Amino acid sequence: MTLLSCKQKNNQPLAEDIKAINLKKGPAILCGPADKEVGTVKFAISCGEKIEKEFNFATALLHSFEYDEAEKAFAKIIEEEPTCAMAYWGVAMSNFHPLWMPPEEPELKKGLKALEIGKSINQKTERESDYIEALSAFYKEWDKVDHRTRSTRYEKAMEAMYKKYPDDKEAAIFYALALDASANPADKSFTNQKKAGEILNSIYKDDPHHPGIIHYIIHSYDYPEFASLALEAARKYASVAPSSAHAQHMPSHIFTRLGFWDEAIQSDIASTESAKCYAESAGIKGHWDEELHGMDYLVYAYLQKGDTKRAKEKLDYLKTIREVYPANFKVAYSFASIPARYVLENKMWKDAAALQVNTAKFSWDKFAWQRAIIHFTRWLGAVHTDQLALAKAELKELSRLYHELVRQEAADEATHVERHVKAGRG
C-alpha cells in the first residue's frame, strides 16, 4: 500500500517511519496442524473485520510467547493497513516478552518507535489509546529506569485498564500477565501470582479455549505450593494451541511439579520435536532454544523414572549441539543442568568431579549462576571421591562466581543511576 507523504495532514505514518522500526517480516512459521491452530482470541479493534481476524491470530501467538512470529503477523497488518494503531501496540508487546529475560536495547528501541507511531495515529478509539499508553509505561525512559520499576509501572497501568474496562477480557488477561511479570521473587506469599490466578479463573469458564487464560494460569501456579491448581489447564493447553512449541512444553512445568512423569515426558517429546521443526522451517542455523529447554525437563523426567538409557541418549545428543539461537539463559541452564543432573542422579562421582562445560559456540561470560551449576557438581564429585584440594578449589570458584554476580548487579544499578542523573542534567 502506498503511503501518503504528509503524516500530519493525512494522519498516516510515513513509510520511512515504519521502515525505521525494522520489523520482522514473512509468513508466520508454526509446526503443527496445517490450519495453524493457536487457540481462540476475540480482541475487538477498530481496523475492520478482516484486519481484526488477523489481529486475533497475531495476539494468539503473543499469548503463547511465539514472539518472533507474532511480530511478523502484526507487521503484515501494518503493511496492509498502516493506520491500524493497535498493530504497533502488538509489535511493542512482541518485543517486551514479560516473563522472559528483559528486552535488550534493539528490542526496547523497536518497541518505543512502534508505540510512538501508534500514538501519532488519530484513527483509534479511547480504549486503543489506553492500551498504547499503558504499554508506554514500560518503554518510557528505558535507558534511565531499571526493568523492574518499568514492569511495575506497566502493571499499575494495566490495573487501571482492568478497572476502566471491566468487560474487556483481554485487559484482564494482560493485567494478570503483568502481575506475574512484576511479582517480587522474594515474596513467598505469592501475592501477585494469587491475584493473577483469581482473575484468570474468573473468566476461564466462559472462554476455555483462550490460549492466554490457560497459559497464564499455568505460570501463576508454577510453584510447588499451587501446582495442583493448574493441572486442568496443563492438561488442556497443548490441545488448545497445538501449533505452538511453547504450548506443548509449558504443561510439563506442572506435571514436573506434581511428579506426573509420563505426562511430562510426552509433553516434552512433543515440544522438542516441534522446536526442531521450527528451527528447520525458520532457517535457524543450529538449534532453537526451546528445544534445549524442553530437553532439560525431559532428561529430568527420565531420571526420575529411572530411565537412565533414554536420559543418556539425550545427554549424548546434547554433546553434538554446537550452535543454538538465541543464546540465552535457558540455553546456558540446559547446557549446565542436563549433564549435571545425569551424573549426580546416578551418583557418578568421578564423572561429576571432572564435568566440563559445553564447548559449543556459546559464551558463558553472561551466565555466572549457570556456570555455578558445573562447579557445584564438580565440588560434590570431589567431596565424594576424597579430592580435598579439588573440592576447596571448586568451593573457591563458587564464592568467586557469587561475588561476580553481586558486582554485576551493583554495576547495573550504578549504570541506571548514572543515566538518570545525566538525563536530569540534560
Q: Dump pLDDT digits (tens) for 243-299.
A: 999 999 999 999 999 999 999 999 999 999 999 999 999 999 999 999 999 999 999
So what's the pLDDT on residue 419? 44
Least confident stretch, 68-77, 103-112, 403-412, 415-424: 415-424
- Statement: residue 2 has pLDDT above 90: no
- Residues 252 and 262: beta-carbon distance below 8 Å: no
- State pTM to two decimals: 0.90
Residue 179 has pLDDT above 80, yes or no: yes
Residue 346 phi, psi (nearest 5): -95, 5
pLDDT band at 4; cut points 50, 70, 90: very low
Mean pLDDT of 330-356: 97
Reference 162, options 151, 152, 176, 148; nearest CA is 176
Q: Which three cell numbers stand for residue 207?
A: 472462554
Whether 32 maps to a domain, the answer reads: yes
Cell match 518472533: residue? 68
The closest of 250, 245, 341 to 302, measured between CA atoms, is 341
Q: What gap in Å lies between CA 66 and CA 290, rounded to an integer?
A: 11
In which domain, by residue range, is 53 found?
Answer: 1-251
Residue 93 one-letter amino acid: M
426 falls in which pLDDT band (50, 70, 90)? very low
Burial classification of residue 410, based on how many CB atoms lie within 10 Å of its CB (0-12 exposed, 13-18 middle, 19 or more buried): exposed
Does a structural domain hold residue 123? yes
Across 373-384, average pLDDT: 98
Residue-wise pLDDT tens digits, 307-326: 999 999 999 999 999 999 99
Structural domain includes residue 94:
yes
Q: Which amino acid is at 49?
A: E
**Tally of structural domains, the chain:** 1
State yes or no: pLDDT of 360 exceeds 80.
no
Mean pLDDT of 45-65: 97
The per-residue pLDDT for 12 is 72
pLDDT at 8 over 60: no
For residues 415 and 198, the model is more confident at: 198
| Domain-located, residue 14 | yes
Q: Find out whether 401 and 375 touch, Cβ atoms under 8 Å.
A: yes
**pLDDT at residue number 418:** 44
pLDDT in tens, 202-259: 999 999 999 999 999 999 999 999 999 999 999 999 999 999 999 999 999 999 999 9
For residue 75, pLDDT over 80 is answered with yes
Return the CATH number at 75.
1.25.40
Task: State the pLDDT confidence band at 162, using cuts at 50, 70 and 90.
Answer: very high
Give domain status of residue 98, yes or no: yes
Asked whether residue 426 is domain-assigned, the answer is no
For residue 323, being part of any structural domain is answered with no
Report if residue 298 sits inside a domain. no
- The answer, yes or no, to whether residue 425 has pLDDT greater than 60, is no
pLDDT, mean of residues 331-348: 97
Query: Phi first, then psi: what are they for 325, rounded to 5°?
Result: -130, 135
Give me the mean pLDDT over the 349-357 stretch. Answer: 95
Q: Looking at residue 268, what is its pLDDT?
A: 97
Give the pLDDT mean for 358-367: 81
CA 3 to chain centre: 34
- Compute the average pLDDT of residues 362-391: 94
Does residue 132 contact residue 119 with C-beta atoms inside 8 Å? Answer: yes
Could you give the maximum distance between any two Cα atoms of the chain, in Å?
A: 79
Residues whose CB is less than 8 angstroms from the CB of residue 166 and which lie 6 or more positions away in sequence, other chains included: none
Q: How confident is the model at residue 412 (pLDDT cuts 50, 70, 90)?
A: low
Give the integer Cα–Cα distance in Å for 184 and 179.
Answer: 10
Query: Taking CA 406 as the corner, what is the angle to CA 402 and CA 407, rounded to the nearest 5 degrees?
Result: 115
